[in-house]
């Protein structure tokens, strides 16, 4: 395995007067600089398990996930397990996800759990406890959230993330074409919903250095974002590879904020499995392409 091993703990055990945890934004900036600008999604859907010669069951899920984590967690900056593909197997699938998160973090990768949670009140607080409480078996470096019950509904998760030194990525301009009917709609005051969400994110990150811990999800397939993406936080960019975007598209979409992009690739790397060496080679190749464009 290649690459350095940044501190991904985000928490400091000890008494109440212990030093606060290092913010996620700072840890992410260091990981991207050290390991390169690549996030690899862990998406064990049925077709991919079959392509690997695995059964679509818990045993296949576990074999797939363990292979990816063992091959890549010591090399890439971020691993992004898609929770839905684990949840479909019930409690046994969640157990595989729990182990994957713990093992990947122990090997030095930052783990972004792609769960897209969003609710209000005590329910949002419970989601925050599941993914952002250091005592939870699903505790992750960051989690994706949906703001479409109002950005203020995310406050329990925002506060929990800040306390734990974790991060959140809020859906803003997603790569699926259906998203435009909501995200491009005009909100009160005349701004689009996406612009309003991005404004909230920028305010959460005000004054953070070297990078805020509240990120936005902005699809690499957009062509032109049409809004200011300078939110002083990371920009998760799905859509590269199978969805049609390339590394060369990123400067046009993200403009001056391109250095804060976290490009996410799943099938372009996972499709090279099940060979661990082939997975590492694919990740290294994608990282090289992204470095050449992003610097």
CATH number, domain of 211, equals 3.20.20.70
Alpha-carbon distance values, 143 to 109, 153, 154, 177, 291 (Å):
14, 15, 12, 22, 25
DSSP reduced 3-state for 143: strand
3-state DSSP call for residue 154?
helix
Look up residue 14 and give its two tokens.
Answer: 């000890």
On whether the pTM is more than 0.85, the answer is: yes
- Residue 7: the pLDDT is 53
Domains of the chain: total: 1
Can you give the pLDDT at residue 199? 97
Contact 175, 239 (CB under 8 A): yes
Domain membership of residue 64 as a residue range: 36-294
Per-residue pLDDT 10s for the chain (295 aa) are 344 455 555 544 444 457 889 999 999 999 999 999 999 999 999 999 999 999 999 999 999 999 999 999 999 999 999 999 999 999 999 999 999 999 999 999 999 999 999 999 999 999 999 999 999 999 999 999 999 999 999 999 999 999 999 999 999 999 888 998 999 999 778 999 999 999 999 999 999 999 999 999 999 988 777 788 999 999 999 988 777 789 999 999 999 999 999 999 999 999 999 999 999 999 999 999 999 999 7
Tokens of 16: 């109440």
pLDDT at 9 (0 to 100): 54
Asked if residue 21 is part of any domain, the answer here is no
Tell me whether residue 253 is in a domain: yes
Give catalytic residues, as residue numbers. 116
Helix (H) and strand (E) counts in the chain:
12, 8
Number of residues that make up the chain: 295
Q: Would you call 226 helix, strand, or coil by DSSP? A: coil
Please indicate, yes or no, if residue 24 is contained in any of the structural domains: no
Please tell me the predicted confidence (pLDDT) of residue 15: 42
The answer to whether position 2 is within a domain reads no
- The whole-number pLDDT of residue 19 equals 85
Helix runs in 114-192, H state only: 121-132, 155-164, 180-183
């Amino acid at each position: 395995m290649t690459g350095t091993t940044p501190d991904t703990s985000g928490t400091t055990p000890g008494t109440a007067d212990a030093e606060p945890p290092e913010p996620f934004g700072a840890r992410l900036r260091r990981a991207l600089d050290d390991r390169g600008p690549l996030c690899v999604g862990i998406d064990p859907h049925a077709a991919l398990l079959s392509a690997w010669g695995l059964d679509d069951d818990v045993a296949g899920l576990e074999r797939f996930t363990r292979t990816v984590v063992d091959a890549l967690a010591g090399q890439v900056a971020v691993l992004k397990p898609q929770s839905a593909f684990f949840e479909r197997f019930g409690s046994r699938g969640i157990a595989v996800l729990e182990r994957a998160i713990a093992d990947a973090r122990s090997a030095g990768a930052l783990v972004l759990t792609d769960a897209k949670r969003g609710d209000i009140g005590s329910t949002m607080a419970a989601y925050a406890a599941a993914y952002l409480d250091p005592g939870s078996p699903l505790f992750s470096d960051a989690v994706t959230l949906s703001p479409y019950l109002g950005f203020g509904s995310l406050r329990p998760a925002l506060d929990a993330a800040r306390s734990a030194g974790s991060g959140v990525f809020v859906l803003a301009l997603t790569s699926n074409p259906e998203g435009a009917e909501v995200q491009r709609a005009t909100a009160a005051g005349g701004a689009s919903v996406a612009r309003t969400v991005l404004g909230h994110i920028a305010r959460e990150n005000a004054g953070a250095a070297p990078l805020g811990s509240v990120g936005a999800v902005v699809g690499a397939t957009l062509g032109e974002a049409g809004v200011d993406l300078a939110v002083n936080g990371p920009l998760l960019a799905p859509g590269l590879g199978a969805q049609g975007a390339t590394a060369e598209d990123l400067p046009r979409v993200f403009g001056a904020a391109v250095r804060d992009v976290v490009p996410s690739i799943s099938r372009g790397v996972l499709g090279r499995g099940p060979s661990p060496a082939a997975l590492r080679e694919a990740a290294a190749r994608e990282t090289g392409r992204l470095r050449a464009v992003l610097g």
